[in-house]
A and B are shown apart, each in its own frame.
Chain A
Amino acid sequence: MSDNTLFEINGLCKAFGEHLVLDHIDTTIEKGEVVVIIGPSGSGKSTFLRSLNLLEQPTGGQILFEGNDITKSGNNIDKYRQKIGMVFQHFNLFPHMTILKNMTIAPMKLLGLSKEEAESQAKALLERVGLLEKADAYPSQLSGGQKQRIAIVRALCMKPDVLLFDEPTSALDPEMVGEVLEVMKDLAKDGMTMLVVTHEMGFAREVGSRVLFIDEGKIVEENTPAELFDNPQSERLQSFLAKVL
């Protein structure tokens, strides 16, 4: 395992009762990669992503994050989660807090930043995504696209080593998808390590450094976007692409 490895996933399994949702997944995520995960619904791609910060508890295998096995019991998962940012399909902003508070509470309580430090960091990030004037607004006053951009910068406030995106544009009106993807592209350009579960094939092709195709809990195919989209090997990927492209 090289120093550049962020996640090393060995034989990851997740079963709900009899049903095996993740079936021995092996892969490695390097720093700076933008890994896009595609697959039909119910294929286990979201479960895979959510296993990486243990929002889903794996039932087998191991996940090494920066060399530490986070699935081992007795490990303080909260510490690791601080470095693994997550963006959800439904944003999950805290509705009882202003945007600024949404972005400052975790760095203040968990990283020990002062209010001034946390707020200036948050404002710089808001500026970057063009939402500085919403600092004192509440989430309910924002559009879906704005909420998702806030959710992304909220995760960034913890200065994570990697960001997990769980279908970040699936709950958005079509005209708002672009603004969120722009922010994600911008992050990718900055060298942020990202794992993105998405149905946006255009994004996968343009920004992804690698694409994983997951079906029935297995990584069926993985390749660079150009190769994977233009030259799919397996029949399942071919039929999937025929449906979505």
Chain B
Amino acid sequence: MEQFKINFINNFITDNRYMYLVQGLGKTLLLTAFAAIIGIVLGFLVAIIRSTYEKTGKLKIANALCSLYLTVIRGTPAVVQLLIMFYVVFASYNNSTVVAIITFGINSGAYVAEIVRSGIMSIDGGQLEAGRSLGFSYAQTMWYVIMPQAFKNVLPALANEFIVLLKETSICGYIGLMDLTKGGDIIRSRTYEAFMPLIAVALIYLIMVVFLSSMVKKLERRLRVSER
């Protein structure tokens, strides 16, 4: 017990080492939040293009581009994407935070797109017909009739995607960013002690994920109630 206390002080208190974790956590949350926004915008756009093509046969070229995007992003590791973005695409641009946000946003967008597309396709075809028969255009029907229902159906899956995204940002140390994971690793390199800082990092992720998951569960319950 005494040893535990000494280790704790050495790893977290001495030289204010806990600040590595605090600042790292801030970075993790910042990356997750902004990447999520990009992911939502991009994902919805791609989903609408893809489902429009599937339903009407229009937007053929845009759909082909979207398919390519999904294949490439979902077919390569996120770490590799991050390295390519940092060392190749944005080689002359050295704000790694922005590069990481863009990369994670583009990455997440691919997964969001497939979730939202499945939501759109799950809405009964009669809904589109009813909207169109009233005189709404395709776009208006999507906006007023299809998307609100699709969004509601996929909210839990979307929330899960952002939990995945939160954990995914832990690879940003590869381009020199100090997020929560990197913060813990820096402590390890200072104190030559792996157990405590890394377990602390894992615990912080776990607490965030458990909290978010319980929010998703609550959300799912709420949505089920309003269906009756």
Contacts and interface: CB of A to CB of B under 8 A. Distances in A.
Interface string A64-99: 000000000000001101101110101011111000
Contacts of A140: 227-228
Contacts of A105: 144
A88 B134 contact: no
Interface in A141-178: 141, 154-155, 158
Chain B: interface secondary structure? Answer: helix
B152 to A, nearest CB: 7
B127 interface: yes
Contacts of A110: 134-136
Interface in B69-127: 124, 126-127
Given A105-B144, A109-B144, A92 B137 contact: no
B145 A94 contact: yes
Given A96-B149, A109-B140, A140-B227, A84 B130 contact: no
A53 B133 contact: yes
Interface residues of A, number: 25
A81 B127 contact: no
A92 B152 contact: no
Interface in A121-137: none
A188 interface: no
Nearest to A87: B133
Contact of B129 (A79, A92, A93, A96): A92
B135 A95 contact: no
Contact of A84 (B126, B129, B133, B140): B133
Contacts of A93: 130
A88 B148 contact: no
B149 A95 contact: yes
A126 to B, nearest CB: 17
Given A96-B152, A140-B227, A158 B132 contact: no
Interface of A: 53, 55, 78-79, 81-82, 84-86, 88, 90, 92-96, 105-106, 109-110, 140-141, 154-155, 158
15 contacts: A55-B129, A55-B132, A78-B137, A79-B135, A85-B134, A86-B129, A86-B130, A90-B124, A93-B130, A94-B130, A94-B131, A94-B145, A96-B149, A109-B140, A110-B136
Given A78-B132, A81-B133, A82-B135, 12 more contacts: A53-B133, A55-B129, A55-B132, A85-B134, A86-B129, A88-B133, A90-B126, A92-B124, A92-B129, A93-B130, A95-B149, A158-B135
